Structures are given as structure tokens and as C-alpha cells.
């Protein structure tokens, strides 16, 4: 018997979790915008999402042997939270640009909402397939 959820649902779930982590990191940056010496942080979730989906180009590798399994979209993802070295430090050593962080937060929220909509549509299609689309009773 196959998986209950297809890989798309797993990928969307992984993307939602990574977007949530990203939102938390951005929120922490904004909260520490006036903290002397605080360095802005970033989440490397694009690289982790690509890894979770199966490679640098997002395509799962073909198994050469029956026992070889490539990464699956349901595998745990361990993103890295790193200091953003691209920011300009203020005189007190803080590297948070509040305007940039607010823009990143807005972008992340839009992408999170888009992922939610895709997940709702996918689950709706699965529900239809199980109930109405099953060919009658």
C-alpha cells in the first residue's frame, strides 16, 4: 500500500514549517533592532527545501538499486539559522535594517499564505477523489 499523502502534500508541509521558522527569525531581528551588538539572522531554508525535495535542482535522484532511497519531501528538514553578513552595522554594532526586515516579513507572509492556499486545494482534490470523484456508490 502506498503513502496516504502524495509528495506534494509533504513538500507543502515542509515549506510551511520553514516559512514559520523564517517568520520567527525575522520577528526576532525586528525585536532586537535597537539592541547594541545584535547581528541580523537569516534562515537558509531554500537550500534545505531543495535538499528535502531531492537535490540541487529539486528533482529526486533515480534509485540505481532497489534498496537505495533518495530524499523524500516528508524527511525532516534541519535549516541553518546564520548571521547575515550582508548588513551594514550601525555605530553600536547592530546590523538590523528595520525597513528591510519589514519587507522580508511581508514577502514571507505572502509566500506562507500562498503555500496554505496550495495545500487547501491539494487536500480538496484528494477529498473529492475519495468521495464524489470515486465513481459513485
Give pLDDT tens digits for 80-126. 899 988 878 889 999 999 999 999 999 999 999 999 999 999 999 88
The pLDDT value recorded for residue 14 is 85
DSSP assignment of 76-121 equals ---PEEEE-TTSPP-TTS----HHHHHHHHHHHHHHHHHHHHHHHH
pTM here is 0.73
Amino acid at each position: 500500500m502506498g503513502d496516504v499523502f502524495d509528495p506534494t502534500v509533504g513538500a507543502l508541509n515542509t515549506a510551511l514549517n520553514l516559512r514559520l521558522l523564517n517568520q520567527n527569525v525575522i520577528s526576532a531581528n525586528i525585536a532586537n533592532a535597537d539592541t547594541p551588538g545584535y547581528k541580523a539572522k537569516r534562515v537558509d531554508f531554500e537550500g534545505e527545501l531543495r535538499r528535502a525535495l531531492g537535490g540541487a535542482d529539486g528533482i529526486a535522484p533515480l534509485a540505481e538499486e532497489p534498496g537505495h532511497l533518495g530524499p523524500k519531501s516528508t524527511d525532516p528538514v534541519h535549516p541553518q539559522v546564520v548571521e547575515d553578513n550582508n548588513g551594514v552595522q550601525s555605530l553600536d554594532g547592530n546590523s538590523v535594517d528595520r525597513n528591510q526586515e519589514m519587507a522580508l516579513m511581508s514577502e514571507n507572509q505572502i509566500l506562507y499564505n500562498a503555500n496554505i492556499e496550495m495545500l487547501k486545494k491539494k487536500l480538496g482534490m484528494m477529498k473529492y477523489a475519495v468521495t464524489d470523484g470515486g465513481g459513485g456508490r
